[in-house]
Amino acid sequence: MSNLQITWSDNIAIVTVSREKALNALNRQTMDELHEFFSVTAPATPGLKGVVITGAGEKSFVAGADITEFLGLSPAQGKELAQRGQDVFFLIERFDKPVVAAINGFALGGGCELAMACHLRIASEKARFGQPEVNLGLIPGYGGTQRLIQYIGKTKAMELLMTADMIGAEEAHRLGLVNYVVPAGEEVGKATELIEKIAAKAPVAISKIIAAVNAFYTDGVNGFDVEVSEFGNCCATEDFKEGASAFVEKRKADFKGR
């Protein structure tokens, strides 16, 4: 039985982590299925506008990784597990269509890391965020120590990582961790609304935005150089010709994604 429930709404994939009894904790099977979806299924889906990731039920988005799978790990096995998690989340972060987390409850540990790997985050007013790994004698392994700093800065990230404190949706919004806070039950709707808004823009340009922004955080890569290169690449697209013509002619552009 799959741990991911995938439904479709007007060419938007709604990916629901469906392990409600385990608070949607990420086990190996779930990570394998996320890898399969973002490396095979989604890239092969024609007309895909974007992806929404959420959790089953009203209580939890993803309440961490499945700790039962951590017991007895050797250092080498621990490194392998963490690397696998980072590889899957890099697939999400680098996906060339918008990926939006619709956070309906607890986003803790690996769940917070999953949300941070998405391009945008919509939080229910009931959402709670945290990296509680130190309570287990661990540190985040799926990118949490790195992405949390990017979103909220070193000072507050250090505090949350070392105290294991949780924060609510409003504080997460104030800190810059989430884009919007909405009433409970409206997070998926807001996420699809954002994707629809983005889908009205030039698809190739959106993919280049994702690549250029990610370049800022990539070691050994000059993000300004990537921006120059991708700007030039956009100039060769049909979308650019259409967008520029539509602007001059004062009409709505009809982008084809080419």
Tokens of 196: 């629809």
CB 24 within 8 A of CB 60: yes
For residue 8, give the nearest of 212, 233, 192 by alpha carbon.
Answer: 192
CB 115 within 8 A of CB 63: no
Tokens of 146: 């790195």
Determine which one of 113, 159, 193, 238 is catalytic. Answer: 113
For residue 237, give the nearest of 214, 213, 208, 204 by alpha carbon.
Answer: 204
Cα angle 43, 44, 46 (rounded to 5 degrees) comes to 100
Tokens of 45: 């889906």
CB 120 within 8 A of CB 180: no
d(CA 72, CA 144): 22
Q: β-pairing, 12-17 with 4-9?
A: antiparallel
Tokens of 104: 């309906």
Burial of 255 (0-12, 13-18, 19+ CB in 10 A): buried
Could you confirm whether 133 is annotated as catalytic?
A: yes
CB 108 within 8 A of CB 172: no
Determine which one of 93, 133, 187, 230 is catalytic. Answer: 133
CB 242 within 8 A of CB 253: yes
Active site residues: 113, 133
